[in-house]
Amino acid sequence: MNPAKPKTHSTPHRPSQGGKDFRKRVQRGKQQDEARAPQPTSKPRAGNAAANPGILLKAGREKSLQRRHPWVFSGAVECIDGTPASGDTVAVRDAAGNFLAWAAYNPDSQITARVWSWREQEIIDAAFFRRRISAALHARRALGLERDSNGMRLLHGESDGLPGLIVDRYDDVLVMQLGSAGMEHWRDTLADILQESCAPVCIYERSDSDGRALEGLPKHCGVLRGALPEAVEVMENGLRFAVDVAAGQKTGFYLDQRDNRALTGTLAAGREVLNCFCYTGGFSLYALRGGAASVLSIDSSQEALEIARCNVELNGLDSSKAEWQSADVFEALRKLRDQNRKFDLIVLDPPKFAPTAAFAEKAARAYKDINLLGFKLLRPGGLLFTYSCSGGISDDLFQKIIAGAALDAGVDAQIVKKLHAAADHPVLLSFPEGAYLKGLVLRVTD
């Protein structure tokens, strides 16, 4: 363990003591900008917060913040007061100079600032992060998820008041993913707090998500505290899964599907199951344990399939009932259709086709394609578990796409259940983007 890593303490900003002269200061700031005189230090200064850098919004662009949506888009910004560095805390004010929020600044992102706090008297310092983290951990404990499970999303970004911070726990290893300049700024403080409050054997950073490029942040991975055990394992509802923390997808495992996997397990008895985009075998293992007659699992990642096979052994499940196929699902489904194969239960859990709404149209075609084929491969009375983890596809749109797929496949289907991410992935009401995972259980009528 290496808790003695040198710490970089960020200067906390202080709350505003008025800021009535903000507009004047903004004007002054503009003139200075024009003169391009060498600027003083960009660090937020302690003391009088009127001296802190700030963001002034265009008239009328304060509405989403007033509804407590925690992002300030670049198009809403009238001007920047001072010369904050990326990750610095800034005060966000409306066009009249009224305080709206404290936020983390990022000049390299379309999201110019992400809100830390709506309270003007708040001080954004280590104690602030300790409070927020402690509240999130307390809420997780209250969920009572620990029976037969030791994996959990401990911190879920914006929805836990911690924009850009994801922390997943796999037994006694924590994996941290930073997705914002603000969180980068506080990396060491966050690691210290997590070490203190969770005492893990390792905190591993996996800041290599695609979203970081949009934030102008380079990839950053490696051990932050402690040492990474040779093998990491997570227990989920009594099933054991090996987790490749350093090289697996996301933080190594998809904890958000915990409850949905369990539901599949309860409905799999005696059924021929097809699990598409199986990763390390999550849905497949539940189906095998639930008494499936057979489980065909498909993924394009050889590494994931190898772990999946080991996971079957790890749990003493009947590997003769499990078939693993390394293939592109789009092609594999067509082959199965051409072979006239039929299944009783199909899972479609593809990767994010539409990270943002801009990709929705292209993504919609991909979702329709796989779901149409899925419907065609189901026997009458069969169940389709279909998911989208695309932030750019709403619940409504997803349901419409699936309805179109059923129509084109020539089947009638009922929604048996609507599914979402597990309770350790809460969604802040004012931040609907947090509800990225949506799923439907459909039954093809006889």
The reply to whether 277 sits near ligand SAH by the rule CB under 6 A is yes
Among 301, 325, 399, 430, binds ligand SAH (CB under 6 A): 301
**Residue 172 corresponds to which amino acid?**
D
Active site residue 79: no
Among 196, 318, 328, 412, binds ligand SAH (CB under 6 A): 328
Specify the residue, 33 or 369, whose C-beta has the smaller distance to ligand SAH: 369
Q: Of 14-22, 28-36, 171-179, 271-279, which segment contacts ligand SAH by CB under 6 A?
A: 271-279
Between strands 202-207 and 173-178, the pairing is parallel
Among 151, 164, 282, 391, binds ligand SAH (CB under 6 A): 282
Q: Which of 202, 276, 278, 389 is catalytic?
A: 389
> What is the residue whose two structure tokens read 């409070």?
131
Output the smallest distance, CB 363 to ligand SAH, in A.
13
The reply to whether 237 sits near ligand SAH by the rule CB under 6 A is no
Bridge partners, residue 93, by sequence: 56, 99
DSSP 98: -
Output the smallest distance, CB 97 to ligand SAH, in A.
47
Specify the residue, 301 or 356, whose C-beta has the smaller distance to ligand SAH: 301
The reply to whether 349 sits near ligand SAH by the rule CB under 6 A is yes
Output the smallest distance, CB 136 to ligand SAH, in A.
23
The reply to whether 102 sits near ligand SAH by the rule CB under 6 A is no
Rounded CA gap, 104 and 60, in Å? 21
Both tokens assigned to 181: 């300049």
Q: Of 91-99, 106-114, 131-139, 275-283, which segment contacts ligand SAH by CB under 6 A?
A: 275-283
Output the smallest distance, CB 212 to ligand SAH, in A.
19
CB 307 within 8 A of CB 281: yes
DSSP string of 204-228? EEEE--THHHHTT---EEEEEEE--
Output the smallest distance, CB 192 to ligand SAH, in A.
31
| Residue 22: C-alpha distances to residues 71, 83, 235 (Å) | 21, 15, 53
The reply to whether 302 sits near ligand SAH by the rule CB under 6 A is no
**Residue 173 corresponds to which amino acid?**
V
- What contacts 238, CB < 8 A, 6 or more positions away? 148, 149
Specify the residue, 21 or 328, whose C-beta has the smaller distance to ligand SAH: 328
Q: Of 196-204, 297-305, 312-320, 369-377, which segment contacts ligand SAH by CB under 6 A?
A: 297-305
- Footprint on residues 239-258 left by ligand SAH (CB under 6 A): 249, 254, 257
DSSP string of 288-348? HHTT-SEEEEEES-HHHHHHHHHHHHHTT--GGGEEEEES-HHHHHHHHHHTT--EEEEEE
> What is the residue whose two structure tokens read 């790890």?
314
Residue nearest to ligand SAH (CB): 282
- What contacts 334, CB < 8 A, 6 or more positions away? 373
The reply to whether 300 sits near ligand SAH by the rule CB under 6 A is yes
The H or E element that residue 236 is part of is strand 232-236
Q: Give me the phi and psi of 167, to 5 degrees please.
A: -135, 120
Active-site residue list: 389
Chain contacts with ligand SAH (rule: CB under 6 A): 249, 254, 257, 261, 277-280, 282-283, 299-301, 304, 328-330, 349-351
